[in-house]
Amino acid sequence: MKKKKWMKLFPVLLLLVLVGCTGCGSKGENENIEQGMALIEELDYEGALACFEQALVSGEDTREVYRGQGIAYMGLTQYDKAIESFGNCFAVSSSIPNELDYDVNYYLAVAHYKNGELQKAKEIYDAILDLKPKEKDAYYMRGSILLELGNYEEAKLDFDKALELDPENYDQLVAIFQVLDKFGYREIGHGYLQQAIDNAPKTISNFDKGRIYFYMEDFEVARNYLEQARDAGDAQAAYYLGKTWEALGEYNYAASVYNSYIRNRANLR
C-alpha cells in the first residue's frame, strides 16, 4: 500500500458528486481497505469511508482502516475527524514505533497544520526527528512551519539539513524555494538555487536545470534547457516551458505550449 501521500499536503480539491462504496465487501484479506484506498485515489472520499466501515465489520487490518479513514477525512477537509482517526490508529499500535507509525505521524502533522494548529504539527515533526534524525521530509516540513511561525533562523537550519541529506532532490529544492518566496525570503531561496546549479552533478537533467533557472528568473537559459528536455520526450518540461515563454512575454506561444501539454496529459490517462 502506497505511503507518503501526505507530501501533497492535500491541495484544494474540486467538489465531486460522491457515490457509495459499490464493490465493498469481504472478498479477501483487506479487500475493503484496498478498495477504499483506490477510491481515495479517485477522490471519492465518501465512498472510501463506506469501504473502511465495511472493513471494520469484516475484521480487516484495524490500523490500516483508521489510517485510511484519516486520509479520507482529510480529503473532505474534516480535519478534526482525521485527527481522531489517526489517534485511533495509534491507540491500537504496539509500544515500538514502526513504518506505519511514522507514516501516520506525517499525516497527523498535516491534519493539525490544516486545522490551524501549527505548534502541534511542529511538535510531531520534533518527535519524528528525535527518533529518526535523518528524515529529510520532516526537516523540510518543520522548516516550512517554523517559517510560518516567524522563526526564520531555525527554519533555515532545517532547510539546510534537508538539502544536506538529499542534495540532488530537486523537487524538494523547488519546494523550499517556493515556501521561502511565499514568506518574503526570495533572495535566500535564489541562493539555494544557485548553490544547486554550482554543485550540480553531470547527471542532472535538462528538465531540472531548466526549472531551477526558471525560478532564478533567468528565463532565456531556462527556455533552452526546457526545450531540450521537451524535445527529448520529458512531458513535465512542457508545463515549465509554457510558464517560461509567458515570463518572456510570448503569450501566444506560451498558450500553444500549454495546449500541447494538456493534450499530452489527456492522452496519458
Q: Give the whole-angstrom CA distance, residue 64 versus residue 61.
A: 5
- 252: its cell numbers: 501566444
Domains 1-97 and 205-269 share a fold: yes
Tell me the residue type at 36.
Answer: G
Fold for the domain defined by 1-97: 1.25.40
Per-10-residue mean pLDDT for the chain, 269 residues long?
48 32 59 97 98 97 97 98 97 89 96 98 97 96 98 98 97 98 97 97 97 98 97 92 94 83 65
Residue 257, pLDDT score: 82
CATH class of 205-269: mainly alpha
- 101: its cell numbers: 507509525
CB-based contact 110:6 (threshold 8 Å): yes
- 192: its cell numbers: 539555494
The answer to whether the Cα torsion of 86, 89, 95, 101 is positive or negative is negative
Domain boundaries, the chain: 1-97, 205-269
Beta-strand ranges (E) seen in 76-149 are none
236, HSE (Cβ side, Cα atoms, 13 Å): 9
Q: Count CB-CB contacts under 10 A for residue 138.
A: 25
Q: How far is CA 196 from the centre of its chain?
A: 21
